[in-house]
Chain A
Amino acid sequence: MTAPTLVVEELRTWFHTRAGVVKAVDGVSFSVDRGRVMGLVGESGSGKSVTGFSIMGLVDPPGRIVSGRILFGGRDIAAMPEDELRHLRGRRIAMIFQDPMMTLNPVLRIDTQMIEAIRAHEDVSRDEARRRARDALGQVGIPSPDERLAAYPHQFSGGMRQRVAIAIALLNRAELIVADEPTTALDVTIQGQILFEMQRLARQTGTALLWITHDLSVVASLADEVCVMYAGRIVERGTVDDVLDRPAHPYTAGLIGSVPSRNLRGQPLQQIPGVMPSMLSLPAGCAFRTRCARADEACASEPAERGFGAGRVARCVHPLVEPVP
């Protein structure tokens, strides 16, 4: 068995603001294997996007990686100088952003934006780079890629723009793609197509995929494994089937319960009561205990990570399934 493409160990990314320290990511660990898809699920503000940006080395002040390791290709990204990081970004690790309307530069043509992404890392001719850009556009299903290369971003629909962004991520055959809610802003049908294609690409090219989303149904259809984040921590991690079928953490169960489904038609949706507490004033111990029906005094102390068999872990004092020591 080969080493995982990405290993994140005890990552802590904190934001030192005037109002106090926001521990946006606080002790997150997971790994993604070659050709596999890892789903990172959580509400907005749970720290999932910051985790993605930490892996890209794109955390801007006042944010900072304060501790932990991000191992990629045997090197620790968290301790890498900016110059080396830059050569990693876009070449070996690519990223796709949430809003396709905002990620492409509005005043540069598509070919400029694609060719520069190749030539930033490889000494190839413009023609060669252009040819590769055209192939990448074709690969993500953009019709008549030759003509579209000369277009400006606003001449594409939202779905097409996201395909362009994905094509850019594919340009240098990255080993890892971090996708930050790339389908959230799109129609459901287009979302389905893109999910399908991304999954196919991961399998074919052996690219590892970290898929950040708040949408459990996306994870269910796409990912192999899933991490559930809450208030800067991973509360549960395991294979998609295990976690979604038999959640151990009450928060995971709450998330699953709040997804509408055909089987439950006519029944009221279950909601997780309350809202996520402010990141500036998290309760001591389990951060979810203020909203959890199972919480008691024991939850006020930090819950340890416990195993539930087959690489599955959760941080809960009162899990819904029996832990496997």
Chain B
Amino acid sequence: MTVFVIRRLMQSGLVLFVMSLIVFFGVYAIGDPIEIFISPEADQIERERAKAALGLDRPVWAQYFAFLGAAFQGDLGRSFVFNMPAITLILQRMPATLELAVSALLLGIVVGLPLGMYAGYRPNSAGAKAILAGSILGFSLPTFWVGLMLIMVFAVNLGWLPSTGRGQTATYLGITSSLFTVDGLRHLAMPALNLALFKISLIIRLARAGMRENMLMDYVRFARAKGLPMRRVVFVHVFKNILIPIVTVIGLELGSTIAFAVVTESIFAWPGMGKLIIDSIQRLDRPVIVAYLCIIVFMFIVINLVVDILYSVLDPRVRLSEAKG
């Protein structure tokens, strides 16, 4: 088990290194931010001074090593636009993104799991067919367009929900979140639903397939032959079995939810790191781009590792075979 974890960690480190290389050299190969920061009338001396101040006059490889050295000390450069450390900037925006992503995943589970289980339990019912059709649509609907339509219906036509921003936040148990205020929840509702739509469809499919497959298994018949009520057969025996693949997928989806939050945040002007990266790409704020990509890759690596470990905790078969090996 430890060997497994160490090997995974080494692989992760390598991925992180390669990523920083690609991102850094790639990002520095494009555009010239000097053009943006300095007025076209500025003379050559002013330009050189600005370049030196930003460290852009040194060769690219030297800039990279300076970046790498600083990165190990937690310094990923300063934002040209905000004139503050990129990592601070991103960490400031991260809670909003995490709040959105976690809410979307929870919504996906709360809505998707029961619907999917029902669709798998009674696969021939009209309800099940409607659920399945809905999930196919959910897969095909482009997220950003659904976001626009949500705004059109709930913000513009009905006027029920605000269309932009995060709303009021409150601190509870040391966590500052808009989940704790009514205004915050009203702001969160549409973005979370928008981001959850794909997850709901995914979880419906997984739960439905797992339910159908497991209901045909001998252990279900045996459990029924023991005289267990159907309630217990479904919610204990089958549920625990379908939970394993679903938990794995949900864990892995946390990363992709954070990544896809880029779209939702841009539409709803949600002040998270996703909106920040899109703005930064458009403004060529390179330190922020590099820092964002490094941080998100790092988050992915951590999430994947945690999911692997969680998976082995949930499934006794995996747990034991790895304990032996």
Contacts and interface: CB of A to CB of B under 8 A. Distances in A.
B225 A90 contact: yes
A95 B221 CA distance: 10
B117 to A, nearest CB: 16
Contact of B237 (A90, A99, A108): A108
A126 interface: no
Contacts of B40: none
B219 A106 contact: yes
Interface in A80-94: 86-91, 94
A88 B225 CA distance: 9
A88 B237 CA distance: 20
A28 interface: no
Interface in B176-206: none
A103 B321 CA distance: 21
B320 A154 contact: yes
Given A107-B240, A107-B315, A154-B320, A58 B225 contact: yes
B244 A107 contact: yes
Contacts of A154: 316-317, 320
Given A106-B219, A107-B315, A86 B229 contact: yes
Interface string B232-243: 100011001100
A168 B228 CA distance: 13
Interface residues of B, number: 23
Could you say which interface size class chain A belongs to?
Answer: 20 to 34
A105 B237 CA distance: 7
A104 B219 contact: yes
B219, B226, B314, B317 — most chain A CB neighbours (10 Å): B226
Given A86-B229, A97-B222, A105 B240 contact: yes
B232 A102 contact: no
Contacts of B217: 102
Contact of B221 (A97, A113, A116, A117): A97
A105 B241 contact: yes
Interface string A209-225: 00000000000000000
B325 interface: no
Nearest to B224: A58
Contacts of B229: 86, 120
Interface of A: 56, 58, 86-91, 94-95, 97, 99, 102-108, 113, 116-117, 120-121, 152, 154-155, 165, 168
CB-based closest 6 A-B pairs: A90-B227, A102-B218, A90-B226, A89-B227, A95-B225, A103-B222
Given A89-B225, A116-B228, 19 more contacts: A56-B225, A58-B221, A58-B224, A86-B229, A87-B227, A89-B224, A90-B225, A91-B227, A97-B225, A103-B219, A106-B317, A108-B236, A113-B223, A116-B232, A117-B226, A117-B227, A120-B228, A154-B316, A168-B226
Interface of B: 217-219, 221-229, 232, 236-237, 240-241, 244, 314-317, 320
22 contacts: A86-B227, A87-B227, A94-B225, A94-B226, A97-B222, A102-B217, A102-B218, A102-B219, A106-B317, A107-B240, A107-B316, A108-B236, A108-B240, A113-B223, A116-B232, A116-B236, A117-B227, A117-B228, A120-B227, A120-B228, A152-B316, A154-B317
